[in-house]
Amino acid sequence: GIIPRARLHSLIDGWENEILDATGAPARGMGESNPESSFGSGPSSDFFPQVPEGHVWCETCWVARPPRASHCRDCNNCVLRFDHHCPYVLNCIGERNYIFFFSLVVCANLLGIAVASGIGVWRAHSRLPTMWAAQAWFVLVVIVLSMCLPYMFGLMLYHIYLVSHGLTTKEALKDRLTSGDCTLQLRRRPSLLHARERVSAHTIGQ
């Protein structure tokens, strides 16, 4: 759900219209071909009247981001329906990948439950070896599970709460709700980044 920076909007034919459809705001508010070339001058005077209410101007990306979008300091990009930056997957969680993050949390819980159940069944039907190495292994696994399972289970319950209330993590932590729309979308809109598209030849030198 990354919103391309303003300097990239003119590189691909039709990209500006695609960004307009996704964000609801004009892709560029600058008069120059390279809007970030005159850093500090800001958007043109006729830009802000075209921006719908609730949009916020990003001084870093030079785009008008829609409600629920936010600029990630770690990725240094504006992300549609920004949830949080996850240190475990080293990526932003937003509109297009929240369903995968939620699935990861659920699967991690199921895996932990399966491992704990398997160890319990094994312990109940087998005699624990008297070797200190086997005992240390068993204790180590129990300690790791007892530390990880409650955390993962709590994280899953927290995101179930967020999904049921139509909130993102950032909105819940800052107690600021922009819109209560569903956050767990099964159908994702296409990415705004076209890494394999050919750029227009007449825009490369601009």
pLDDT surpassing 50 at residue 2: yes
d(CA 99, CA 65): 22
φ/ψ of residue 86, rounded to 5: -90, 120
For residue range 56-91, what is the model confidence (pLDDT) as tens digits?
888 888 888 888 889 999 988 899 889 999 998 889
- pLDDT surpassing 80 at residue 53: no
What value does the mean pLDDT take over residues 163-184? 77
Tokens of 154: 């709590």
61 flagged as catalytic: no
What pTM was estimated for this model as a whole?
0.76
- Mean pLDDT, rounded, of the chain: 76
Joined tokens for residue 12:
């691909």
Measured in degrees and rounded to the nearest 5, phi and psi for residue 189 equal -75, 155
> For 174-197, what is the mean pLDDT?
68
DSSP lists the bridge partners of residue 39 as none
- Of 86, 92, 107, 148, the active-site residue reads 86
Highest mean predicted confidence (pLDDT) among 14-23, 102-111, 124-133 = 102-111
Say what the pLDDT of residue 34 is: 43
